[in-house]
Amino acid sequence: MYANVAFYDERTMTEHQTTSAAFGGSAAAARSMELLWGTKPPPSRGRKPGMTVDRIVAAAIEVADAEGLDGLSMRRVADGLGVGTMSLYRYVPSKAELQDLMLDAVIGDDVPSPLGSGGWRAGLERLARSSLDGYLRHPWLLRMSLTRGAMGPNQTAALDAVLRSIDGIGLSGGEQMAVVQLVTGYAHGVAQQLVDATQAQQHSGLSDEQFRTEFAPLLDEHLTADRFPALEKLWRNEEMGWVDPFEFGLERVLDGIETLVAARGVAS
């Protein structure tokens, strides 16, 4: 499911790294809320609309999936739809509102299974996996600010579903929100690493295995036991037994939450 996508903690990202309509009562946020919740009144004059907001948003997502947010523009979306750029502004005032609509649309792409099924830990595990999947399917989401944008119906429903899955396990309201941010933030970090690796492979033309094959001999001669004892020991160990970083980290995150829940005396 995409419910998780709405709740990553973006406070560590600088303003130039994030893109979203400003939140907090601004004109852009108000326009986004009207579009997201369907409260914008239809035009009373002019020609009968020949386009829909949903078609525009779907076309924008297609552009962003292929070219990233840097490739997204009202003109690019209009070209994909085979219409003039100015015709889009009758439906979506600007790219800021369009991005809010895109975010809510991808969150609503999949109908989530009940997060509470199997207990809170199983629900948070599904949340993390779905978060990772959502980011990998739409890498541009990694650049979206989710704390400074308007919340649409899909994002709101998703947050409610997550909170219901961890309600009653002994956490305060603030702790519940922190748990959501912890789990989805972990998935965000892993997704960023995987996307970066994919982009590096595309730019270099080398697979991970090819890179390691070429790089390993260059580092090998510099790794000596007297200078880098721990790394040298691991480097020479041919039976080290690699683990899946995502799975390992997710279990440790959930273990930590479970320790807190247990301390509150509430069964999982």
* Domain extent listing, the chain: 3-174
pLDDT confidence of residue 218: 86
pLDDT confidence of residue 11: 36
- The one-digit pLDDT tens for each residue of the chain (268 residues) are 444 444 433 333 333 344 444 344 477 788 899 999 988 776 665 566 678 999 999 999 999 999 999 999 999 999 999 999 999 999 999 999 999 999 999 988 765 567 778 899 999 999 999 999 999 999 999 998 665 668 899 999 989 999 999 999 999 999 999 999 999 999 999 999 999 999 888 888 888 778 778 878 888 889 999 999 999 888 888 777 789 999 999 999 999 999 999 998 865 5
The CATH topology of domain 3-174 is: Tetracycline Repressor; domain 2 (1.10.357)
Q: CA of 46: how far to CAs of 42, 49, 50, 90, 262, in Å? A: 11, 8, 11, 10, 63
pLDDT confidence of residue 217: 85
pLDDT confidence of residue 210: 83
* Phi (first) and psi of residue 238, to 5 degrees: -80, -10
Task: Classify each residue of 223-254 as buried b or exposed e, where b means 16 or more C-beta atoms within 10 Å of its C-beta.
Answer: eeeeeeeeebeeeeeeeeeeeeebeebbeebb
What pTM was estimated for this model as a whole? Answer: 0.82
Distance CA 22, CA 135 (A): 22
Distance CA 113, CA 183 (A): 18
Contact, 161 vs 112, CB < 8 A?
yes
